[in-house]
Amino acid sequence: MTFTRIEDFLYILLLLLFVSIWLFILRQRHFIKDQEIKYSYRLKDAQEKLEEYITDLDNLLVMLVSIHEFGMTATGIISKEELSQSVINSACRLIRSDAGSLMLLNHETNELTIAASKGLSEEVIETTKMKLGEGIAGRVAQTGKAIFVEDIESDARFLRTNAKHYSSKSFICVPLRVKNRIVGVLNVNSCEKNRIFEERDVRLLTILADQAAITFENIELYDNLQNFYLEMVQTLARAIDAKDSYTHDHADRARHYARLIGKKLSLPEPMIRHIEYAALMHDIGKIGIDETILHKTGKLTNEEREIIKKHPAIGNRIIAPVAFLSPVAPMVLYHQEWYNGQGYPEGLVGEEIPLGARIVAVIDAYDAITSDRPYRKALSKEVAIKELKKGSGTQFDERVVKAFLEILEEEDREPAKAEAR
């Protein structure tokens, strides 16, 4: 009996051990399954975040390339306003926001103003101005360090006058910086009320802002260089006017009308600028013409007329070797061509004549008619208009004449409006 009891006891013990092991294995299986599910969710979240980061980096790369291309190939073609709008659109797209602004710093007044925006009212755009150190944007411009806040309404650094215009709370402001010089700031706020920006958003915007700042600097340098060129061309043009007292201020008037016609014809800004240069310098070849011929009060001989006809070619030879004036040289060379092919020096017809030359031809003819000449006094504006209409389609491009006459009509209406006031 004792042996049987011991056997039964061992049997029960083994049974309990087996059940315990089985329950332990069962619990482990459930635990492992739960862990697998948990890690599966974590892995899925990590994959989604990784895909999101990769998408953000891809977007950032595309935007940086676009802005870099602006700086490398479009300088002088786009304006600061166009670039500003492109940058703020890129910033909002990069961190999935629908509101923000790009503010540029005026180094004379030390004041930030909105150059481009998205999702802001006209009132905010027009009235928002900040001094260095004022509000978040002013502090970022002053210190050159990015700031992001979770709640703009509770942050003492955020100006109360602006906070009410933002529908969400989270806000990022990063500087546009070239070396140690601040160009402006980039502001973006979250379009989702419950979303709070992360540090990575600040880093992405900082990279974008740095490239944008370099491009703004390039545009400014280009504009300064162009202004220098323009001043040099104006000086040359005035030297030409001084040689021929009868054409005093002719170059400045020609330049004025060249820009107005270019805008009326919706020409791109670089082309308008080249036409301005051509208008200023179209008579530079007269430097090579004897003053006795230029100032002759009587009728020119055939020989003298042929000498005068050389001034476009002389002007071309002076301008063509100068790299930045190379697009202007053909306009100077062909500004005496007629639309019907009866002009000089090569008898070009219609569209063969550069548009800039056709514009200068109309302006030059109008100014010649309405100015004193060695051989006659100035004629009236009405006579000049009549002559332009008469020559439209033969001597002049009809489209250019039409645009110029519209400009003259607009000028006539301005004094009338002033008197009515």
The tens digit of pLDDT for each residue in 177-208 reads 988 889 999 999 876 666 677 777 888 888 88
- Domain membership of residue 377 (yes or no) is yes
- How many domains, the chain? 2
Is 237 contained in some domain?
Answer: no
Residue 362 lies in a domain: yes
Residues 215 and 251 in one domain: no
Which distant-in-sequence residues (6+ apart) come within 8 Å of 63 by Cβ? 90, 93, 94, 208
Q: Say what the pLDDT of residue 35 is.
A: 75
The pTM of the full predicted model, rounded to 2 decimals, is 0.54
Residue 38 maps to a domain:
no
Identify whether residues 251 and 391 lie together within a single domain.
yes
* Residue at 227 is within a domain: no
Instruction: Indicate whether 140 belongs to any domain.
Output: yes
Mark residue 96 as left, alpha or beta (left: phi above 0; alpha: psi -120 to 50; beta: remaining).
left
pLDDT of residue 25: 80
Are residues 208 and 253 located together in one domain of the fold? no
**Given this model, what pLDDT does residue 191 score?**
63
Whether the Cβ atoms of residue 99 and residue 188 lie closer than 8 Å to each other: yes
b/e for 397-418, b at 16 or more Cβ within 10 A? bebbbbbbbebbeeeeeeeeee
In a domain, 266, yes or no: yes
For the segment 102-139, what is each residue's pLDDT rounded down to a tens digit?
Answer: 999 998 899 999 999 998 888 888 888 889 988 888 99
Q: Tell whether 83 and 175 lie within a shared domain.
A: yes
Question: Mean pLDDT across the chain, nearest whole number?
Answer: 81
Tell me, yes or no, whether 309 and 410 share the same domain.
yes
- Full domain range(s) for residue 307: 244-420
- The per-residue pLDDT for 163 is 45
Summarised one tens digit per residue, pLDDT across range 288-297 is: 888 888 878 8
Q: Are residues 313 and 415 in the same domain?
A: yes
pLDDT tens profile 207-230 = 888 888 888 888 888 777 777 776
Interval 85-114 mean pLDDT: 87
pLDDT digits (tens, 9 = 90+) for 28-50: 777 777 777 777 777 777 777 76
Dihedral pair phi/psi, residue 157, rounded to 5°: -75, -15
268 plus 195 within the same structural domain: no
> 157 and 298 share a domain?
no
For residue 130, the domain's CATH number is: 3.30.450.40
Shared domain for 258 and 209, answered yes or no, is: no
Do 102 and 214 sit in the same domain of this protein?
A: yes
Q: How far apart are alpha carbons 219 and 70 in whole angstroms?
A: 9
- State pLDDT tens for residues 360-418: 999 999 988 988 777 678 889 999 999 999 999 999 999 999 999 999 999 888 765 54
Same domain, 353 and 267: yes
Domain end position, chosen among 220, 254, 275: 220
Residue 172 reports pLDDT greater than 50: yes
Residues 252 and 348 grouped into a single domain: yes
Is residue 24 one of the residues assigned to a domain?
no
- Of the candidates 185, 220, 255, which is a domain's last residue? 220
- CATH code assigned at 384: 1.10.3210.10
CB 188 within 8 A of CB 92: yes
